[in-house]
Amino acid sequence: MVIGPLNASGVDVVLRATTIGAALRATAIDVDLAGRPVLRGVDFAVASGEFVVVIGPNGAGKSTLARVLAGVLRPDAGRVMLGGDDLAMLSPLRAAVRCAYLPQGATLAWPLTVERLVGLGRLPHLAPFSRIGTADRAAIEDAMVRADVLALRDRVATELSGGERARAFLARALAVGADVLIADEPLAALDPGHALAVVDLLRAEAARGVAVVAVMHELTLAARAADRLVLLDGGRVVAGGPPAAVLDAATLARVYGVTAWHGAADGEPLIVPLRRNR
């Protein structure tokens, strides 16, 4: 489902996600892990063509939220709707073709080639005992082109550099061809150039009409790239909306306990944490 071109002014996008049917919507999510509350009353929505970045301090519940949205973790309370369907009611296979998930610190157990790794994204599309078809091949090829890993297709994925590896795993998620993409810390351990490449890739997916959710720690990159930020702290959504509105000095001081320098470059916000508040 593609709703018009990407609109970078966050307010419209917020309205789109909340009024028109969201591609993915979570309502009143509670999660307890090992008896400890991790998420409390979290509401979240992302529309097709929207790029939402989830930020928050370590332990805020970002990854847990990503896992709930991806259907990996069943919330203790609340509901996740994928389009018009309750995620808990969908069969794993039906959900898999509609929502792609890139886990945090993605690992690969066997030394597969990049092409084979990307091909794993087509698994939910294959009928039992059937071989990979021309449509699957085209989707794999397309995902490798979009993630710029075509030149690496015959390399062993476990032997790639961090930046190449991040793109290869992202290509695996793209190959699913889902209308929702959830990426948990896709920028972890990437240098600025590779981080920007991955952000551009996620933006491009949103521009194609995919609902993109990413968990990130890099505030400036998040602020510049996202249509909308969702700030988690202590398992609750403490702020949400256009980046400039979420990342003001008071919020940074309250949530992260830091004083930051706020500036602008190319008309987009720039945030540099300066020191911890005592």
Q: Which residues bind other proteins (CB under 8 A)?
A: 67, 70-72, 91-97, 99-101, 103, 106-113, 116, 120-121, 123-124, 126, 156, 158, 172, 176
Distance in Å, CB of 70 to other proteins, minimum: 5
Q: Which is nearer to other proteins, 175 or 219 (CB)?
A: 175
Distance in Å, CB of 77 to other proteins, minimum: 19
CA–CA separation, 240 and 228 (whole Å): 7
Can you give the chain as a three-state secondary structure string? CCCCCCCCCHHHHHHHHHHCCCCEEEEEEEEEECCEEEEEEEEEEECCCCEEEEECCCCCCHHHHHHHHHCCCCCCEEEEEECCEECCCCCHHHHHHHEEEECCCCCCCCCCEHHHHHHHHHHHHCCCCCCCCHHHHHHHHHHHHHCCCHHHCCCEHHHCCHHHHHHHHHHHHHHCCCCEEEEECCCCCCCHHHHHHHHHHHHHHHHCCCEEEEECCCHHHHHHHCCEEEEEECCEEEEEECHHHHCCHHHHHHHCCEEEEEEEECCEEEEEEEEECC
Q: Which is nearer to other proteins, 16 or 67 (CB)?
A: 67
HSE at residue 62, side-chain half, CA atoms within 13 A, is 26
Q: Which is nearer to other proteins, 71 or 186 (CB)?
A: 71
Distance in Å, CB of 71 to other proteins, minimum: 7
Distance in Å, CB of 86 to other proteins, minimum: 17
Distance in Å, CB of 185 to other proteins, minimum: 13
Q: Which is nearer to other proteins, 11 or 126 (CB)?
A: 126
Q: Which is nearer to other proteins, 184 or 218 (CB)?
A: 184
Distance in Å, CB of 207 to other proteins, minimum: 23
Distance in Å, CB of 92 to other proteins, minimum: 5
Q: Which is nearer to other proteins, 106 or 201 (CB)?
A: 106
Q: Which is nearer to other proteins, 210 or 271 (CB)?
A: 210
